Amino acid sequence: MNQENTQKVHLVSLGCPKNTVDSEKMLGLLDGNSYQITSEPEKADVVIVNTCGFIGPAKEESIDAVMAAHRLKEEGKCKGVIVTGCLATRYEEELRAELDEADALLTIDEEVKVVESVDQILNKPLRKRARNTVRKSMTPDHWGYLRISDGCDHKCAFCSIPAIRGPHKSEAVEDLLAEAERLASTGVRELVLISQDSVRYGADLYGRPALVKLLSELENVKGIEWIRLMYTYPAFWTEEMIDFYASSTKMCAYIDMPLQHISDRVLKRMKRATTRRKTIDLLQTLRSRIPGVGLRSTFIVGFPGETDEDFTELLQFVEDTRFDHLSGFIYSREEGTSAYDLDAEVAEEVKEYRYSCLTQLQERISTEINDDMVGSRHIVLVDDRDENGFYGRMQRDAPEIDGHVLIEKGGVTIGKFVEVEITGADPFQLQARAVGIPY
């Protein structure tokens, strides 16, 4: 096919990795139906915006992206704009009535119709369209996402995801195994497992959680060296999971556990189904059973009813626990959530102050943890390079959200593992030199 005559599509993917997988599936459909994917929106015939609708700032970013795409259409640089994703799903009725800038709006369930929507904008005749296409990866060749389930059955008071994504729905083990094998055949060496609630994987299909069964199968996939599990809900960790982590040769020594808070008062108002004591006991068990495990968490500040005492308790918990990576979020009041009507709202300036305190505390902790690593040796997976050197990640670092290791001299290869010695440290970056042979 003459590439010059192929019509082009640009896709803007916003939000979380779960949205990225949706974008990859749409790109696969478009690529498999004779559309060229371009990274330059001004050269596209159609621009697709896969939106996020989780909290206020994400919604604003999504609308800004839609407006930017519409400006390209007004300037004659593209013929149409498609809006899809979580924002389009959450506010479908309002956007269909009011968002004139969108030539087509697709909910998450309608994203399989993306090719038809592009065809209609470009006035293409009816045709038989390919459906069984392979998703087109948006990640580097050596790591990729594997979405094991979607949706969520929890009723956390602050969260709009169940209303957007629906109830928890797992993919079958055999389908995930086949996808993992396909990814491995393309050069993927690290699988990043994502979902809304990983530890409940399989409960809807098999009558009980089947995460360990899935992980055991994935361990046998030839070519996969690291398996990283994201989004583990603290209340449902099991001894079986901990045993598997402790004995596995491929599971990254890394736990991503969004805790959101530690005060029992706040946890109860958040409807988090756990307590301070249970959380502390779990973290202590994980650290004792998985030596050197890296811990990541997220916390919300300014939730309705959070007092100065609650926040002080949170700061002390973070100080005592010393997470390797931590993200703070300012509470966003979202319609459709049970927290929307809670009393005792926290003033915006108080939220901002608490957020600043939390992030400054974590920056100090991260600096201390990284300083202590100088002189130690670690295996890293090399991700990228620039004029400063190569960038890699240890097992404790998830791609795109955690820190990295700057390997200051050559002798390494993108997509390969190498042993390095840590030579310097900053809060969110380590410096190192290669001391092993890439493999």
CATH of the domain at 115: 3.40.50.12160
Residue 141 · residue 154 · CB < 8 Å: no
pLDDT at 109: 95
Residue 134 falls within a domain, yes or no? no
State the Cα–Cα distance between residues 135 and 176, nearest whole angstrom: 13
Which amino acid belongs to residue 272?
R
Domain co-membership, 366 together with 393: no
Domain residues for the domain of 425 are: 374-434
Whether 314 is in a domain gets the answer: yes
Write down which residue in 356, 372, 388 finishes a domain.
372
Predicted local distance difference test score (pLDDT) of residue 54 = 86
In a domain, 389, yes or no: yes
Q: Contact 43/35 with Cβ under 8 angstroms?
A: no
Residue 309 resides in a domain? yes
Q: How far from 251 is each of 226, 237, 243, 283, 309, CA to CA, in Å?
A: 6, 16, 12, 17, 38
Report residue 133 CA to chain centroid gap.
23
Q: What's the pLDDT band for 172 if we cut at 50, 70, 90? A: very high
In a 3-state reduction of DSSP, which class is residue 119? helix
Residues 429 and 325 grouped into a single domain: no
Are 48 and 168 in the same domain?
no
- Domain count across the chain: 3
At 39, is the secondary structure helix, strand, or coil? coil
Contact 191, 183 (CB under 8 A): yes
Examine the fold and report which residue of 357, 372, 387 is the final residue of a domain before the chain moves on: 372
Instruction: Please report the pLDDT score of residue 5 as a whole number.
Output: 59
Average pLDDT over residues 309-314: 98
Domain match, 328 and 226 both? yes
Structure tokens, 237: 């960790």
87 and 198 assigned to the same domain: no
Query: What is the SS3 assignment for 194?
Result: strand
Cα 415–Cα 227–Cα 253 angle in degrees, nearest 5: 105
Q: Are residues 73 and 107 in the same domain?
A: yes
Strands 80-85 and 143-147, by their bridges, are: unpaired
What CATH number should be reported for the domain holding residue 180?
A: 3.80.30.20
Q: pLDDT digit string (tens) for 110-166?
A: 999 999 999 999 999 888 888 889 999 999 999 999 999 999 999 999 999 999 999
pLDDT at site 408: 86
Task: Say whether both 319 and 393 belong to one domain.
Answer: no
Predicted TM-score (pTM) of this structure = 0.94
Position 243 in a domain: yes
Q: Are 152 and 162 in contact (CB under 8 A)?
A: yes
What's the confidence (pLDDT) of residue 250? 97
User: Which carries the bigger pLDDT value, residue 306 or residue 56?
Assistant: 306
What phi, psi does 423 have (nearest 5°)?
-115, -15
Is residue 128, in this structure, part of any structural domain at all? no
Residue 305 confidence (pLDDT) above 70: yes
Residues 345, 389 within the same domain: no
Rg (CA), the chain: 23
Beta bridge partners of 190: 143, 226
CATH of the domain at 403: 2.40.50.140
- In 67-218, the DSSP E strands lie at 80-85, 104-105, 143-147, 149-150, 169-170, 190-194
Q: Look at the block and give the residue holding tokens 């640009």.
A: 10
- Please, what is the average pLDDT of the chain? 95
DSSP string, 67-105: HHHHHHHHTTS-SEEEEEEHHHHHTHHHHHHH-TT-SEE
